[in-house]
């Protein structure tokens, strides 16, 4: 489960300005975009000693609520335009996974094990946790 944001929607609106065209969250006191990119591509920020994913702050600022899962529709975790963010279930979020660059098959959920095995491909599909 995601870390709950302690700031209210009103407090976020008082301290930040959001640009829906670029996805930038601007600190009104410094007039600069908040946050930094992490190793997974998400933008993170420290506010009052607490660390948050910026897309979660944006979602709460824009919609006033905090879903457990926020999906980046285009699979780009640094694209925080509100049109790219949606509340999702675990199931919906797992359907929206990407094909990794090192994929030998070019398909999601199918991996190739180059270990000299007779059956080098593995298919992993989970539906409702099974």
The confidence score (pLDDT) of residue 96 equals: 73
Instruction: For residues 102 and 44, give the distance between their C-alpha atoms in angstroms, rounded to a whole number.
Output: 26
The pLDDT value given to residue 4: 78
Strand 43-47 relative to strand 50-53: parallel, antiparallel, unpaired?
Answer: antiparallel
Residue 3 CA to residue 76 CA, distance in Å, equals: 21
Per-residue pLDDT reduced to its tens digit, 22-63: 999 999 999 999 999 999 999 999 999 999 999 999 999 999
65 DSSP β-pair partners: none
Domain residue spans in the chain? 9-97, 99-130
1-11 pLDDT tens trace: 566 788 999 99
CATH number for 9-97: choose from 3.20.20.70, 3.10.20.600, 3.90.75.20, 3.50.50.60: 3.90.75.20
Query: pTM here?
Result: 0.76
Name the maximum alpha-carbon separation found in the chain: 62
């Amino acid at each position: 489960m995601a870390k709950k944001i302690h700031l209210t929607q009103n407090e976020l609106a008082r301290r930040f300005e959001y640009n829906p065209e670029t996805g930038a969250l601007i600190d009104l006191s410094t007039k600069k975009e908040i946050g930094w990119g992490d190793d997974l591509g998400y933008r993170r920020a420290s506010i009052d000693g607490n660390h948050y994913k910026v897309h979660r702050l944006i979602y709460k600022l824009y919609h006033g609520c905090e879903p457990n899962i926020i999906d980046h529709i285009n699979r780009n975790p640094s694209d925080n335009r509100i049109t790219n963010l949606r509340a999702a279930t675990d199931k919906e979020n797992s359907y929206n996974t990407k094909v990794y660059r090192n994929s030998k098959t070019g398909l999601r959920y199918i991996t190739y094990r180059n270990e000299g095995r007779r059956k080098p491909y593995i298919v992993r599909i989970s539906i409702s946790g099974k």
